[in-house]
Structure 1
Amino acid sequence: MARTGASRHQLGHARWKFLTWCADADIPEVRTLATTVDRWWSEIATFIATGPDNARSEWVKVKCPTGSGCGPAGSGSAR
């Protein structure tokens, strides 16, 4: 549903269907997954609604600290 423009109602319905399916499952790991998704729902819903992530910028911060010379010919810019 990410980047689809789904409404809050559609997101809520998809969440309800998922959690109901998990609750009906007689598998402990599936119920644990449902608990985890429920706890993280605010963050998940924000991602679905907005779409962007900061993975690339986080990678740059970890791999190319300021002044480390990352990038072409030590230019200091990250690729």
Structure 2
Amino acid sequence: MGLIGFLIIGLIAGWLAGKIMRGGGFGVLGDLVVGVVGAFIGGFVFRALGLFPGAGILPSLIVATIGAIILLFLIRLVKRA
């Protein structure tokens, strides 16, 4: 997947995670950052658990969204503290 595809997946994953977690969004740029960082987190978590969802757009989107949800959860924990 190229850089543009990676950024598009990140943007969609960040937006989805914001909708799933409910709360104020971070705007387009913030959602992109959350999605891209979430993709790295999701990839790390899935590899650490020994799970390999496969290649393609849908598995990549699922992994990135799960990672973005984890990231949003952590951000909200820090904001409360």
TM-score normalised to the size of structure 1? 0.32
> Rg bigger for which structure?
1
TM-score normalised to the size of structure 2? 0.32
